[in-house]
Amino acid sequence: MTMYNEIELMEMARDYEAMEKVALQDAEELRQLREGERIIVPHNLEHARTMFKLSSYYLSQHGTNDYGVVKKDIFAQTYEKV
């Protein structure tokens, strides 16, 4: 059995709390997407794309810092994947 000192245990606790916080933020983003709330300017575009895909939406870019949301089932009728 591995024994950890107090500092290592505190670091592990901080890491766990940070992971929990990220998971809660991701869950909140998915809730917002599912309920149709709009995210105006994603700070991390790849993360935003992943979150939209998980919620059955695509992120479409109309111009610089101008993004919209398109439901996955009608995306192919109007847009093309890039």
User: How much is the pLDDT for 41?
Assistant: 59
pLDDT of residue 39: 53
The answer to whether residue 39 sits within a structural domain is yes
The whole domain housing 12 covers 6-78
Question: Per-residue DSSP letters for the chain?
Answer: -----HHHHHHHHHHHHHHHHHHHHHHHHHHHHHTTPPP-S-SSHHHHHHHHHHTTEEEEEEETTEEEEEEHHHHHHH----
Q: How high is the pLDDT of residue 38? A: 60
Number of structural domains the chain divides into: 1
**Is 1 among the domain residues?**
no
pLDDT of res. 52: 66
Q: Average pLDDT across each block of 10 residues of the chain; the chain has 82 residues. List them in order.
A: 85 89 82 69 72 71 74 72 63
What's the pLDDT score for residue 44? 75
pLDDT at 57: 73
